[in-house]
Structure 1
Amino acid sequence: MADAVYVGNAGVDAPLERGWLLGHFMPPASARHSTEVEIKWGVHPPGDRRAQWTSGERRTALLVLISGRFRVELPDRTVLLTEQGDYVIWGPGVDHSWYAEQQSVVLTVRWPSVPGYAVPLS
């Protein structure tokens, strides 16, 4: 049961997995493996944007602004997060994209954790 507990630091661990701390893509024996939920610690420089919109979204997502100024683009509206703690939730069927207007840190929680949404590495 050595892998039943994991202690880490989001700033250190997140860059190793494209920001992700928890999800189906972590090693199966790890406490960080989950098919129920994904958690991401996103650190975004000014001007950073998602490389492409999602397509066929099947998950629910919660995105919380930790610091900065961060824009979430949805099919029918744009949400601007400006104050620490501002958040937006969207459900299955709602595709999205995002843009960091300033250096930003955001925490994203998505559920369930399913394969097929990673933007290919350039």
Structure 2
Amino acid sequence: MDESVYVGNAGVDGADNGGWLLGHFMPPGLDPRHSADVEVKWGVHPPGDTRAEWVTGERRTALLVLVSGRFHVELRDRTVVLAKPGDYVIWGPGVDHSWLAPEEAVVLTVRWPSVAGYKVVPR
């Protein structure tokens, strides 16, 4: 088996890492999921799921793409509602944010760079 190739399932693999599939926090070495450049998350959110606290002092750029359901991204000056599959929002460093899922939602998140020091807390 080629160790530079990893095949998995986002729902299964992400379950142990708070949804995160790729980033600095994955096993270093030959695991191709380890990256200091980018982080990828498959977020499965039950109805009413919300972020415990706002993210402040963000140093990364983020892209959130709605796969299914409905998802709200809370920014200091507005709420972005992702309502149709494929709706997305991007923000850069310094943008405070939070989120909530008013109904069951699946969201694909890509952040860059992958910054050490941000703790992944499994749900």
Partner of 1:7: 7
- Residue 34 of structure 1 aligns with an amino acid whose one-letter code is S
Give the structure 2 partner of residue 70 of structure 1. Answer: 71
Q: What is the match of residue 26 of structure 1?
A: 26
Structure 2: stretches of 5+ with no match in the other structure:
none
Percent identity over paired residues = 71
Kindly report the root-mean-square deviation, in angstroms, between the aligned alpha carbons of the 2 structures: 1.7
Distance 1:47 1:72, change over 3 A: same
1:76-103 Cα distance to aligned partner (Å, 9 max, x none): 1110000000000000000110000100
The structure with the largest helix share of the pair is: 1
Residue segments in structure 1 that go unaligned for 5+ positions in a row: none
CA deviations over 1:10-57 (Å, ceiling 9, x no partner): 011111111000000001121100000000000000000011111210
> In 2, Cα distance between the equivalents of 1:95 and 1:55?
5
- Residue 17 of structure 1 corresponds to 17
Measured in 1, the distance between the counterparts of 2:96 and 2:118 equals 11
One-letter amino acid of the structure 1 residue matched with residue 97 of structure 2 = H
Normalising by structure 1, report the TM-score. Answer: 0.94
